[in-house]
Amino acid sequence: MAMKEVLVPDIGNFDSVDVIEVHIKPGDTVNQDDSLITLESDKASMDIPAPFSGTVKEVKIKVGDKVAQGALIAMVEASDGAAAPVEAPKAEVPAAAPAAAPTAKVANVEVPPPSRPVPEVPKPIAPQHTPNPVAARVEFAPGKNPHASPSVRKFARELGADLTRVPGSGPKGRISKEDVQAWIKNELTKPRTEAAAGGPGLSVLAMPNIDFSQFGETETQALPRIKKISGANLHRNWVTAPHVTQFDAADITDLEDFRKSMQDEAAKRGVKLTMLAFLMKAAVNALRAYPNFNASLSADGGELILKKYFNIGFACDTPDGLVVPVIRDVNQKDVLDIARELGELSAKARERKLKIEEMQGGCFTISSLGGIGGTAFTPIINCPEVAILGVSRSSIEPVWDAKSKTFEPRLMLPLSLSYDHRVIDGADGARFTSHMRVMLSDVRRLLL
Ligand code: CAO
C-alpha cells in the first residue's frame, strides 16, 4: 500500500479557484471517484473526485483556500489494487500538464506541480452554452440555476429537496449542505399548507430568521404541545377554507332575564347555567334550518357530506392553549344537561384530562369570548366543519322601537359567524345569523 499525493487536476484556465467544500478528513476511506473537495470559480462549481481508492492520511487543503491545477489536496494511502500510482517524478510530468501551471499555491505555501498525469480529469469549467463534453458538469449558471456545488446538488437530489426553494447562506447566495438540511428540517416541521391549499403554486414565503436580540433583550420559550398542534391546524384551516365573517347582534334581554331566573334552580343541581348553553340550543335550531352548515366537504372537495347528528364543539381557553371539546347530540339535551357538560368538559380541558374522543365528531363550533370582552372578532373555522360562531361580550345598547318610536335599552349580544365560502353563500351566511338572532331573542322558540 503506497502513500500518494492527490493533486488538483486540470481545471481549465483558472489559477485561483475557491475551495468551498472539503468532504474528507484524516482516517476516511474513499473510493475512486468519491468527491474529495468542491471548487468554485465565479462561473461554476465542480467536485474533484478521488483518482483511486484508499485511506486519507492527511488533508492539505481547507475551505477558503484558493487553488489552481497541481495544488496538493491530500495524502492518501492507496488500497491494494488501486489504480495506477499518482506519484511520478517531476521529470515525468506529462505534456498534458499545462506549462502554465508549473506550481500552484495553497494559501501561501508553494506546492509542487502535478506529479502525475491525473486520470479522469473533470474538464474545464465552462459556461453551459459551450459545446463541450464537460458542460454537463457545470452546475451553476448565474441567473438560471440555484447556486450550489455538485455535491450539494447530489445531496439535495438524494433527499428530494428542491434547490430552487432552498435559500443559500453562502457568498452570492450559494447553497450549502447545511442550508439543504435546515430547509428539509423546516419543511418537515412546518404545517403542510401547500398540499392542503391545492398545490405547490401556493407555497408560502419562508419566514426570515431574525436575531431579535440585536434590538433588545429577549427570552426564548418552547411552545406548549397543544399550541403547536392547534397552531398547525389553525394555519391549515385558514389557508384552505376561504373565510367570510358575517356580523350580527342578538337582543338577549329576555334570555338573560330567563337565565338569571333559572340560576338558583341550576345551582341546586350543581350546574352553572351559562349563556353558552343557550347558544348551543340556538345553533342546533339554525343548523336544522340550514343543513349546509351541518356538513363537511369530502377530502377531494367534490362532495358535500351532510350530517344528521348535532355535535357542537366549544373553544376552550387553557393555560397550554386552545382546545375544542365536543358536546354530543345537543339536540337531544336540555340546557341544564348542556351546561353541566360544558362545565365538566372545560374543567377537564384545563386539567389536561380531555380524551381524544371528547374532541372528535364536531359539526359546528362556538367560540365565546363574552366572558373576557371585545365587540367582534373573526374566528377561524374548525375544519372540516364549515362554520364557526364567535360570540363577544354583550352590552346594553339603545335599540329603536318602531312601535313606541323610542330607543329602548336592550342587552345585545354580538355574533361573528365565519363560514367556508366554498360551501356557504353570503346570503345563507346572513340568513343563518338572522335565524340565530331570532332564536336568541325569543326564549320560548329557543326551548321548544
Ligand atoms: N357577555 C357578557 N358576559 C358574558 C358573556 C357574554 N357574551 N359570556 C359569558 N359572560 C360572563 C358569564 O356570565 C360569567 O359571568 P359570572 O361569572 O358573573 O357568571 C363570566 O362571563 C365568565 O363566563 P365563563 O367563562 O365561566 O362561561 P362561558 O360559558 O361564557 O365560557 C368557556 C366557557 C369554556 C367557553 C370559556 O371559559 C372560555 O374558555 N372562553 C374562551 C374561548 C376562546 O378562547 N375562544 C377563542 C378561540 S379563537 O377562535
Summarised one tens digit per residue, pLDDT across range 51-64 is 999 999 999 999 88
- Ligand 1 center to 99 CA (angstroms): 85
The cell 511520478 sits on which residue?
88
pLDDT at position 140? 31
**What is the mean pLDDT of the segment spanning 205-223?**
93
Q: Identify the band that residue 97 occupies on the pLDDT scale cut at 50, 70 and 90.
A: very low
Element (H, E) at 440: helix 426-441
Q: List the Cα angle 260/261/265 in 5-degree steps.
A: 105
Distance CA 352, CA 69 (A): 66
Element (H, E) at 157: helix 150-159
**What is the mean pLDDT of the segment spanning 214-232?**
92
Number of the ligand 1 atom closest to the C-alpha atom of 413: 7
Distance CA 145, CA 140 (A): 6
- Ligand 1 center to 370 CA (angstroms): 5
| CATH code matching the domain that covers 2-78, chosen among 3.40.50.1220, 3.55.30.10, 2.40.50.100, 3.90.79.10 | 2.40.50.100
Cβ-proximal residues to 286 (8 Å cutoff; 6+ apart), any chain: 293, 432, 435, 436, 439
Angle between helices 275-289 and 335-350 (to 10 degrees): 110
Residue 121 has pLDDT above 70, yes or no: no
| pLDDT tens sequence across 363-419 | 999 999 999 999 999 999 999 999 999 999 999 999 999 999 999 999 999 999 999
CA dist 363 to 332, 360, 392, Å? 15, 9, 21
**What is the mean pLDDT of the segment spanning 293-310?**
96
Q: Identify the band that residue 296 occupies on the pLDDT scale cut at 50, 70 and 90.
A: very high
Cell digits of residue 179: 442550508
pLDDT at position 225? 85
The residue whose C-alpha atom lies closest to atom 11 belonging to ligand 1 is 371
Longest dimension (CA), the chain: 116
Residue 298 has pLDDT above 80, yes or no: yes
Q: DSSP letters along 87-150, please? A: ---GGG--TTS-TT-S-EEETTEEEPPPSSPPSS-------TTS--GGGGG----TTTS--B-H
Q: Identify the band that residue 81 occupies on the pLDDT scale cut at 50, 70 and 90.
A: low
Distance CA 30, CA 48 (A): 12
Distance CA 125, CA 86 (A): 23
Options 129, 235, 421, 435, the catalytic residue: 421
Q: Which residues line ligand 1 (CB under 6 A)?
A: 274-276, 314-317, 322, 346, 367-371, 379-380, 391, 393-394, 413
Q: DSSP letters along 266-287, please? A: HHHTT----HHHHHHHHHHHHH
Between 211 and 79, residue with greater pLDDT: 211
Number of the ligand 1 atom closest to the C-alpha atom of 372: 21
Distance CA 365, CA 324 (A): 8
Distance of CA 20 to the CA centre of its chain: 30
**pLDDT above 90: percentage of residues in the chain:** 56
Between 132 and 361, residue with greater pLDDT: 361
**Residue 180, CA atoms < 13 Å, CB-side half-sphere:** 22
Number of the ligand 1 atom closest to the C-alpha atom of 394: 1
Between 68 and 122, residue with greater pLDDT: 68
Q: Partners of 109 in the beta sheet?
A: 106
Residue 124 has pLDDT above 60, yes or no: no
**What is the mean pLDDT of the segment spanning 260-268?**
94
Element (H, E) at 395: strand 395-401
Residue 184 has pLDDT above 90, yes or no: no
Highest mean pLDDT pick, 96-100, 160-164, 190-194, 347-351:
347-351
The residue whose C-alpha atom lies closest to atom 14 belonging to ligand 1 is 371
pLDDT at position 86? 52
Overall CATH class of domain 129-201: few secondary structures
- Ligand 1 center to 371 CA (angstroms): 3
Q: Which of 38-47, 289-298, 300-309, 345-354 bottoms out in mean pLDDT, i.e. has the lowest?
A: 38-47
- Ligand 1 center to 264 CA (angstroms): 19
**Average per-residue pLDDT in the chain?**
83
Q: Identify the band that residue 197 occupies on the pLDDT scale cut at 50, 70 and 90.
A: very low
Outline which parts of the chain fall under CATH 4.10.320.10.
Answer: 129-201
Give the burial string for 95-106 (b: 16+ CB within 10 Å, else e): eebeeebeebbb
CA dist 166 to 47, 170, 175, 176, 413, Å? 20, 12, 7, 10, 49
Closest by Cα among 266, 279, 295 to 371: 279
Q: Partners of 408 in the beta sheet?
A: 399
CA dist 228 to 235, 264, 437, Å? 11, 41, 35
Closest by Cα among 3, 4, 1, 25 to 119: 4
Between 168 and 267, residue with greater pLDDT: 267
Highest mean pLDDT pick, 26-35, 91-100, 160-169, 366-375:
366-375
Number of the ligand 1 atom closest to the C-alpha atom of 349: 34
Burial of 67 (0-12, 13-18, 19+ CB in 10 A): buried
Q: Identify the band that residue 294 occupies on the pLDDT scale cut at 50, 70 and 90.
A: very high
Residue 83 has pLDDT above 90, yes or no: no
220-224 long-range contacts, CB within 8 A, separation 24+:
224/320, 224/321
Report cis status (omega within 30 of 0) of the bond before 384.
yes
CA dist 182 to 21, 22, 156, 248, Å? 17, 19, 12, 47
pLDDT at position 105? 37
Residue 320 has pLDDT above 50, yes or no: yes
pLDDT at position 107? 39
The residue whose C-alpha atom lies closest to atom 15 belonging to ligand 1 is 371
Residue 198 has pLDDT above 70, yes or no: no
Outline which parts of the chain fall under CATH 2.40.50.100.
Answer: 2-78
| pLDDT tens sequence across 345-373 | 999 999 999 999 999 999 999 999 999 99
| pLDDT tens sequence across 13-33 | 777 888 888 889 999 999 988
- Ligand 1 center to 124 CA (angstroms): 72
pLDDT at position 203? 65
Name the residue of 238, 262, 274 to mutate for ligand 1: max ligand atoms within 8 A of Cβ: 274
> Do 390 and 380 meet the contact criterion of CB atoms below 8 Å apart?
no
> Do 54 and 81 meet the contact criterion of CB atoms below 8 Å apart?
no
Outline which parts of the chain fall under CATH 3.30.559.10.
Answer: 225-446
Q: Identify the band that residue 317 occupies on the pLDDT scale cut at 50, 70 and 90.
A: very high
Number of the ligand 1 atom closest to the C-alpha atom of 322: 44
- Ligand 1 center to 237 CA (angstroms): 24
Q: Is 421 noted as a catalytic residue in this protein?
A: yes
Number of the ligand 1 atom closest to the C-alpha atom of 414: 7
Provide CATH code, domain 225-446.
3.30.559.10
- Ligand 1 center to 421 CA (angstroms): 28
Name the residue of 368, 381, 412, 413 to mutate for ligand 1: max ligand atoms within 8 A of Cβ: 368
